[in-house]
A and B are shown apart, each in its own frame.
Chain A
Amino acid sequence: MFNQKERVGSLITVPTHVTTVTRSTSPFLDFEPIALTPNPPTLPPSCLRICPQRGGYAQVQYKRNLPARGFKPWVYMVGMHAIMAYGFYKYFHGVREQRELSREKMWSRLYLTPLLQAEEDRDQVRRYYADQARAKALGIEDKVYNSERFIRPTFAITPSNVTQ
């Protein structure tokens, strides 16, 4: 753009510069770009280096002349918060109900636990006495564990054929 051009009869080189504005007529652009053309060679004597165009520059169009679509921005903001507030309201109520439901289920299990445990314990004790009787019949009197606690047997002695 700054192709220097020597003028006849002068020692000063004057850059040719941005001057004239012409309009392009592109159908795909909604604003009109500025085409640049070099300055005309004659200049006023007081203005040797960088000078405005004669008659001034035309207005540069930087705004898009389009209508703003939709609502005002704060409407979207308020709407988003309203939707979120409603969702959280429903969520908290759902969580409270879930907590109560789990409490209900838990207590029903707690009320049944002694019953189920008693049944299981009786079964274990029955097996324990049966094991003791079998061991006694085989002549084994040893204690397996050095402990007074009741220990569920890890290995079971199975009869060779199905009893009963």
Chain B
Amino acid sequence: MAQRDARFNQHVLVDTTPMPDHIPKVEEIGATSAPLFSAAYFIGDRCKAFNDDYMKCKEEANGRGEIECLKEGRKVTRCAASVIKDINTHCLKQFKEHWECLENNNHYLFECRKPEQALNSCVFDKLGLKKTIPGAPEGEVPVHLRPKQKYAQFPGRQY
């Protein structure tokens, strides 16, 4: 009886049982942190309604949101996946440059303003998605549009 040792082995702990059939399948987003971070504002621009819907569902589910909000969650994932797919189709070069820059610069957005500018203009032209920072003070240039970045390694004009 006492010979059952605890096993702290991640390999065995992975439960590979698939989702039951009565729940519709959805492909996971499958992107790593840097591409997601790079595309976050476009995801937010296109999928705001789905995101808010999902978060509201979770809040109102009173602790049962994990099961009850699966449908909304699928919508969120599909919408985000559609944004990533569209960016990959139309602006792959700029997108890749930006998230690789983020990857190499500790995810500091202020180090990557030049590729970000290229990505933003491309996405706006092709997809119509715009990066806006909510709550930024009025009458000031938003920080992602400032040519000089005080905290970048080169604090002068970035592009």
Contacts and interface: CB of A to CB of B under 8 A. Distances in A.
Contacts, number: 139
Nearest to A93: B150
A119 B77 contact: yes
B65 interface: yes
Nearest to B63: A149
B67 A115 contact: no
Contact of A126 (B17, B51, B76, B137): B17
Contacts of A98: 151
Given A107-B44, A114-B55, A164-B16, A119 B29 contact: yes
Given A97-B151, A101-B143, A118 B54 contact: yes
A162 B110 contact: no
Contacts of A93: 150
Interface in B41-72: 41, 43-44, 47-48, 50-51, 54-55, 58, 62-67, 69-70, 72
B2 interface: no
A41 to B, nearest CB: 85
B19 interface: yes
Given A100-B136, A101-B143, A156-B13, A109 B40 contact: yes
Nearest to B9: A158
Interface stretch (A27-35, A57-65, A78-86, A127-135): A127-135
Contacts of B77: 115, 118-119
Nearest to B80: A115
A52 to B, nearest CB: 74
A104 interface: yes
A97 B7 contact: no
A12 interface: no
Contact of B58 (A117, A128, A162): A117
Category for how many chain B residues contact A: 35 or more
A147 B19 CA distance: 23
Nearest to B53: A114
A113 B47 CA distance: 12
A118 B30 CA distance: 13
A101 B151 contact: yes
Interface in A39-84: none
Contacts of A107: 40-41, 44, 133-135
Interface in B114-159: 133-137, 142-144, 149-151
Contacts of A156: 13, 15
A100 B141 CA distance: 10
A108 B40 contact: yes
B69 to A, nearest CB: 7
B15 A130 contact: yes
Interface of B: 7, 9, 11-13, 15-20, 23, 26, 28-29, 36-37, 40-41, 43-44, 47-48, 50-51, 54-55, 58, 62-67, 69-70, 72-74, 76-77, 80, 109-110, 133-137, 142-144, 149-151
7 contacts: A111-B48, A115-B80, A122-B70, A128-B67, A156-B15, A158-B12, A162-B12
